[in-house]
Structure 1
């Protein structure tokens, strides 16, 4: 059981090291072989986007230090910024405590969202919870 694996490492002392291969083999990829990825600006800590990785995208990201996702719409690997020039250079990659999500801290060049906005979370529910406000201008 994969969850038991992550429970077993909860009490590891600070700065313990574990083999990357052991962690990757225990990640909770869904039935499509994907795991959610939250991408955050390394300096501002703004959440830029949420996307998906398969194991190949994860390994490519770690090898190239350029964030690579799995595009569900195209059914293909997607190197962020490959066509737009709005690249994400990996600063740090972390796994959550259950092994079912990845956090990428990045240096973002240009807007993160395909709309030209700085991030993908520009649709904000108003205080009354009755409307959605579009924040930020697209490019």
Structure 2
């Protein structure tokens, strides 16, 4: 009697193992390869939601605001390329070069904005929170 029950249990365990292994094997093959985003170069327009973060920087470690646009993946012009990412950067840090730019950005936090990009590069410093840095820019429209 124990041999018949053992055989039934073994057959049931084998069926269950095949049933659980088959869907996971198919799911691994079904994943599409991510595509790199459109190229953004000097004069191109970058659109997305503007966020702000408080980071320590400057003299005496004061807290300063850092502004960031979250957008669709974009490729950067050579030699930056994809910034060592599969699809290109999605977060772009805006560097404000004047108090007027800082005041302009402060009013647009949380809104969808578009900026004309004049200079962009991959983030390389440890303190940068974004994947790419836009050093020269101007606001095109505010939605």
TM-score bracket, normalised by the shorter chain, equals: under 0.3
What TM-score results when the alignment is normalised by the length of structure 2?
A: 0.22
Which structure would you say has the larger Rg?
Answer: 2
Higher helix share: 2
| TM-score relative to the length of structure 1 | 0.22
Higher normalized contact order (CA 8 Å, seq sep 6+, divided by chain length): 2
